[in-house]
Amino acid sequence: MKIQSSSPKKPSRDIVERGKLEYEWATSLMKVIIKILKKYQRSKPLSNFNLGFCLHITKETSVLIMAAKSLGAQISICSANPLSIQAEIIEFLRYNEINVFAKKNPNRKEFFENIFKVSNTNPHVVIDDGAELHSIIHQRQIKGVYGGTEETTSGIFRILSLQSTTGLNYPIIGVNNAKSKYFFDNRYGTGQSTVYGILRTLGILIAGKRFVVCGYGWVGRGVSSCLRGLGANVTITEVDPIKALEAHMDGFNVQRLEAILPKGDCFITCTGQKDVISRYDFDIIKNGAFLANAGHFDVEIDVAYLYSQDNHPIQLRPNVESFNIKGKKINLIAKGRVINLVGGEGNSPEVMDLSFSNQLLSILFILKNYKKLGREFHQVPKKIDYQVAHFALSSFGIKIDKLTRDQVDYQTKVYLNY
Ligand code: RBV
């Protein structure tokens, strides 16, 4: 099928050139995906397949898209978040004949219309971040999808809930759950990029400030350890006793949110849950506190309540709004949307290399195996997960040891007797 071009007008050469430079910079740091590309480039295994993507439109994503293109795929893409779009990447991709359904700062309607447009392109594989494209394809009962992948924790929650209610119409691989993804992307990647997003947005000194990190999952672990490294006083709030205990033994203060609300300077939600900082919490939160969210969706802080109480917040600086709530100043960063992508540049190329290599290998796996895969949620095959880790080690010039035959036998015997 010939897909209609999505470019409204001819972009200036300048912006395409800037996008190309960003793409080349990311490529130079994403060695695993390039290695995979070299392995498959000759056989062009994605020829004659349409891929529908809904990812953050960043320089790292452009590396995945161009890799899939050079393996022969026809590609359409929309953005996984209205505020995470990098305009020069849109133009660079369009210049390279990718159908990009996105514009910088779309309104809500335009944002969802673009997801609809990708769902209309007859994708064989759907690659999503947050499961909005998967949900729309299911709601509209679009046929012909062989399989899909999901990039993030919050998206996997949605897919599992879809599976347990209406069922899935095609197999979906949870790329987020690969160890070579979440150990690195969610922890080191989002940890660093969240702190970078806060620094770039506020420019404040981190040392000596009291930061409150809500949630000690992989993102929370990464964010709190980066903050501690910069000298912050970090408190963790949790609902899971094991994670709370882990945070305590990692040396963080662990408290109930209610107890720390009046004392925290900056709160960062990292949970995937809604109303983590709710309307009732604004009554006791410290005057002048900053609020940011590192989770995929903008539901972790009750942003709607803030706007309902003060619909003309003061724009302190780009991406920082100050609300007057019952005489108290509450400062919201990036409208409660993913701070690392909206206030920063998203996760660094080196970790996105691991995530997107899992994506690319999972796409190839689906196209080879979709007839055998059940229409349900699947984990990334261990072989893919470990291959990505091996390739990454070799790209960093690191060699590791191998078990001898004898050791393998010994281990097998121990397990058998266990
Ligand atoms: N994420 N993508 C980027 N630079 O393109 N940065 C972060 C990027 C992904 C990350 O894998 C995470 O799981 C997801 O965004 C949350 O929406």
pLDDT in tens, the chain (418 residues): 444 445 556 778 899 999 999 999 999 999 999 999 999 999 999 999 999 999 999 999 999 999 999 999 999 999 999 988 999 999 999 999 999 999 999 999 999 999 999 999 999 999 999 999 999 999 999 999 999 999 999 999 999 999 999 999 999 999 999 999 999 999 999 999 999 999 999 999 999 999 999 999 999 999 999 999 999 999 999 999 999 999 999 999 999 999 999 999 999 999 999 999 999 999 999 999 999 999 999 999 999 999 999 999 999 999 999 999 999 999 999 999 999 999 999 999 999 999 999 999 999 999 999 999 999 999 999 999 999 999 999 999 999 999 999 999 998 887 766 6
C-alpha to C-alpha distance for 100 and 11, rounded to whole angstroms:
13
- What is the 150 CA–ligand 1 centroid distance (Å)? 11
Distances (CA, A) of 84 to 31, 58, 156, 411: 24, 8, 20, 47
Is residue 215 within 8 Å of 187, Cβ to Cβ?
no
Strands 314-317 and 289-293 turn out to be unpaired
**Ligand 1 atom nearest 129 alpha carbon:** 17
Could you tell me the domains of the chain?
13-181+347-395 (3.40.50.1480), 188-342 (3.40.50.720)
C-alpha to C-alpha distance for 317 and 320, rounded to whole angstroms:
5
What is the pLDDT, as a whole number, of residue 412?
Answer: 84
- Number of neighbours of residue 214 by Cβ within 10 angstroms: 26
- What is the 357 CA–ligand 1 centroid distance (Å)? 13
89-129 confidence digits (pLDDT tens): 999 999 999 999 999 999 999 999 999 999 999 999 999 99
Residues 6+ apart with CB under 8 A from 402: none
C-alpha to C-alpha distance for 388 and 225, rounded to whole angstroms:
25
> For ligand 1, is residue 60 a contact (CB within 6 Å)?
yes
Distances (CA, A) of 337 to 8, 65, 138, 293, 322: 27, 24, 25, 6, 15
> For ligand 1, is residue 181 a contact (CB within 6 Å)?
no
27, 56, 350, best to mutate for ligand 1 pocket (most atoms within 8 Å of CB): 56
Instruction: Please name the residue whose Cα sits nearest to atom 13 of ligand 1.
Output: 152
Helix (H, G, I), strand (E, B) or coil at 314: strand
Instruction: Please name the residue whose Cα sits nearest to atom 17 of ligand 1.
Output: 296
352, 354, 357, 388, best to mutate for ligand 1 pocket (most atoms within 8 Å of CB): 352
Structure tokens at 384: 């893919």
- Number of neighbours of residue 164 by Cβ within 10 angstroms: 10
**CA 389 to centroid of chain Cα atoms:** 19
